Each structure stands twice: as C-alpha cells, then as structure tokens.
Structure 1
Amino acid sequence: MTHALQIQNLAVTYEKQPVLEGVNFNIPEGTLTGIIGPNGAGKSTLIKAILHLIPRLSGDVTVYGKPYKKQRSLIGYVPQRSEVDWDFPTNALDVVLMGRYGHIGWIKRPGKKEVNFAYECLDKVGMKDFAHRQISQLSGGQQQRVFLARALAQDSQIYFMDEPFAGVDAATEKAIMKLLQEWKQQGKTVLVVHHDLQTVRDYFDHCLLLNKTPIECGPTETVFTLNNLEKTYGGAISFLGNGPALVQEG
C-alpha cells in the first residue's frame, strides 16, 4: 500500500495550551478521507499545521515518502469560506488562475493556455458564465464552486478541503461530491473536514476520528462505529435513518 501522507508525532499549542498532541496516522493513496470530530477537536488546526500555515510544536509530515517542503507542489488546499476576504476586488476567473501559479511561477503572467484551462475548470463546476463576476457578488454556493475550480486548476495529487459543504445548497454539495469521486478515480487523495455524520458512510471510504488526538484512522467500514464515535464526541450517539447522529455532547 502506498501512503500519500504520513504524520508522525505532530503537536500544536496555542498560548501554551495543547490544541493537538500525539497525532500519528497514515493516509493511503487514492482515498477520500473524512476528518471527523466535535467542535474544538482541532480538525482545521490539523490541516493548517500539515500545510505549514501555522507553527507546530513538533511533528513530521511526509508526502509520498519525502518531506512536505520538497513535495509542496503536489498539494492543493480549499480553505473555509469564512477565512476568505470575499470583498477583495477580483473576479472568478482571476481566482481560478491563482491555482496555476504553482505551475507557471508567481512572476510569469498566465498565457492563453492557462486562461483557457481556467475557463474549462469553471465550466466543469457550472461557473463559466460567471467568470468575470466579482467574487463579492456571488452566492455562498457559487463562491465554493469557484474555489473548487481553483482546486481543479491546481491539478494536485493531494487535496485538503476545510468544510467544503458548510452553508452550500444541495446542488453544490452534489457537484462537490462528483468532483471528489472523479479525483479518487484518477488516483488522487483527498482529506475533508466534515461535520454531517449522516453522510460520512456515503461520502468517504476512509476516516480520521479526531479529538485533539486521533481516536481511530482507517477504512470507514471498520472505523466509523458507534463505540468510536462515542469516544470521539464524549457523548451519546444515536442512529437515525442510515447513519449516526449526535444526541448530546459530554
């Protein structure tokens, strides 16, 4: 089994308080991994620490057997919408073109080839007609689709997505999952911070259950169990319909 990502002894503190500690896990290549846990569990912090967006107290990140810094070009990232300045004066096409800078460099201006590719990415997520629309004028679902198009333009091997389904309409959620499945079929690896316990089994073939430290990490069918969820959330879990739902937090 090829590991796309290996995390060893990762720890993060904030104002001397531990946020993450003892984080060790491996992610196999070509999997869709849901990062699952309660609010405050450190899910977004984990992604940012892996990507060197925040300082780590300790820990090693290996991508395809090599240190992260040597493999940075293989990584794509879709942040939470709440962390983006949507009033920044730029349009959808320019946002998507930002995804090409890892390939062409920050100094060189995108040429016709890159612009055409950006249009193709927007078209794939149903946003080509909005290419020249200011991002501040787009709805939440449309903004998320633009970020998906930028991720497509990055043409990465490993993607990190922080709550991509938050606040989007059903059509956008379906579009996101279609894209994630396509990436999986292409052998790409995707890690997604996710909150809806009801859809975990349908969306992900791999799970990381996290609450400041990993509870379990592995195939969804073996890891996503009632016992593990109760350990993760510290509260009672009830099965509703086809999946579990949190009854109360401890």
Structure 2
Amino acid sequence: MVPVRVENLTIAYHQKPVLQEVSFEAPQGKLIGIVGPNGAGKSTLIKGILGLIPIASGEVRIYEEIYKKQRKKVGYVPQRGTVDWDFPTNALDVVLMGRYGHIGWFKRPNKKDQDFAKACLQKVGMLEFANRQISELSGGQQQRVFLARALAQEADVYFMDEPFVGVDAATEKAIIALLNELKEMGKTVLVVHHDLQTVEEYFDWVLLLNMRKIAFGPTKSTFTIENLQKAYGGRLTFLQDQLILGK
C-alpha cells in the first residue's frame, strides 16, 4: 500500500487558492524533501494532509484510508515557531504526549511508556534534560524534544515542517542521522526544507512545489536546474551559482 496518496488537493484561504490540484504518491521507506519558494504552500500541504486546515477539494489517503482512521500511523513535527514554548511542562512530558495514541488520552502513562519516552530522548541526545522546562531549552534542544515526541508515536509516516530552521550544526547533524535511521526502519518521511544546497545530500526523493506540483520523483532526476527554474522563476538566479558550486 502507498504510505501517502494525495489526489488533486486544492486548498484556499478566503477563497484564494494556495494549493491547486496537487497530486503525488509517496513511496515506502524514503526521505522526501518538499521544496519551493516562500509562499509556495509547503506547510499548507502538510497541514491539509493532516486535517489541520480544511481542503477545498481533492483526497488524501494514508495507507489507502482517510487520515482520521490512520492517526496512530502518522507522526508530525510542526514548525518550531508555531509552538507555545511557555506552556508549563518539561521535556519528558512533551515526549510522553506522543504515547497517547497508544494508551489513550484518559489513561496515565505507565513505567513502560516512561521508559520508552526516555529512550526516545536518549536517541536525540536530550535525556539529561528530561525534567527541564521546555521554555528553558535552546531552539535546537526544543527541536530535538519534538523529534523525540514524534519517535514516541512509533509512526510509519512522519511529516516534519522545516526541522532544520534555527538549529545549530550539531542538531542538524543529529536530525539527519535520525531521519536516515527512520528510513532504514522502512518509515516514510516527508520534510519541508528550505536549503537547496543540502537537498541532494539529504533526500532520496523531492517534491518541487509552487502552488502547484512542479515535479516529483527521485532527487537525482528531479532536482534539476530546469525544474528549479520552473519552481522559483527569477528568484532562482541568485541561487544558481551556489547550487553549481555545491555539486
């Protein structure tokens, strides 16, 4: 079964289309970068797939079922800037939130859940901060905690909205190592990404987006200057030399 199938997805704000008739099928066990200029609808695409915003038309299927039936199979890491980091909770409690799909919202996590959450924090190098208030953590540390929460969900498909933004080099390295580990486990990971120079290094497949699907497929054949020009237009000019130099 296809992990993520999107068919003719259209999303509009105040009757103005933001995404128009986007269709693609995400293959199993791949790291997929969602790339495009600012305002292209990258974050909107993820939110529409997850039912966080209404869609005007089209269909979304997670393993051939509607998202509501497959919530337990999906993990989500939102943009760090959209999270209320002043909420009074510590890092371990944030990660335990990822277990509620398994234990239910009205049951307390048991020792097994606690131990699993701590193992997820250990995996992202944050176990020593388990009892630290999230508001006291750095941006990179906060991002690692949210990654640990996604791991705690034990999902099959992960959506991550710009996880590398505002993090230090060590955190970026830890994130990409974790993404590759998820891929080795057969998970499918879709990542909104803004750094064109690292796309070829980080992702197996790429979705180029600018309100519509520009191109989708294996990175080697899809992430081309021609397709980038279609996605970015004149805004690509100042990046083109950097991309060539980076090859």
TM-score (norm. length: structure 1): 0.95
Q: Distance in 2 between matches of 1:152 and 1:12?
A: 29
Name the counterpart of 2:210. 211
Name the counterpart of 1:193. 192
Name the counterpart of 2:74. 75
Q: Distance in 2 between matches of 1:66 and 1:89?
A: 36
Q: 5 Å matches for 1:176-187?
A: 176-187=175-186
Opposite residue 20 of structure 1, the aligned amino acid is: L
Q: Distance in 2 between matches of 1:27 and 1:93?
A: 32
Question: What is the aligned-residue identity percentage?
Answer: 65
Question: How far did residue 114 of structure 1 move?
Answer: 0.3
Q: Distance in 2 between matches of 1:99 and 1:133?
A: 18
CA RMSD of aligned residues (A): 0.9
Q: Does 1:95 align with 2:99?
A: no
Name the counterpart of 2:246. 242
Name the counterpart of 1:158. 157
Name the counterpart of 2:59. 60
Opposite residue 146 of structure 2, the aligned amino acid is: F
Q: Distance in 1 between matches of 2:114 and 2:74?
A: 21
Q: Distance in 2 between matches of 1:170 and 1:58?
A: 40
Name the counterpart of 2:109. 110
Residues 96-154 of structure 1: CA distance to partner in whole angstroms, max 9, x if unpaired? 00000000000000001100111111111111110000000000000001011101101
Q: Distance in 1 between matches of 2:74 and 2:52?
A: 13
Name the counterpart of 1:174. 173
Gap runs ≥5 in structure 1: 244-250
Name the counterpart of 2:219. 220
- 1:66 is paired with a residue whose SS is coil
- 1:30 is paired with a residue whose SS is coil
Q: Distance in 1 between matches of 2:28 and 2:115?
A: 30
Name the counterpart of 1:246. none
**Number of matched pairs:** 242
Opposite residue 209 of structure 2, the aligned amino acid is: L
Name the counterpart of 2:5. 6
Opposite residue 116 of structure 1, the aligned amino acid is: D
Residues 52-89 of structure 1: CA distance to partner in whole angstroms, max 9, x if unpaired? 00010011111112222221210000000000000000
- 2:200 is paired with a residue whose SS is helix
Name the counterpart of 1:33. 32
Name the counterpart of 1:125. 124
Opposite residue 227 of structure 1, the aligned amino acid is: E
Q: Distance in 1 between matches of 2:33 and 2:218?
A: 10
Moved over 6 A (4+): none
Gap runs ≥5 in structure 2: none
TM-score (norm. length: structure 2): 0.96
Residues 134-188 of structure 1: CA distance to partner in whole angstroms, max 9, x if unpaired? 0000000000010111011011000000000000000000000010000000000
Opposite residue 110 of structure 1, the aligned amino acid is: P
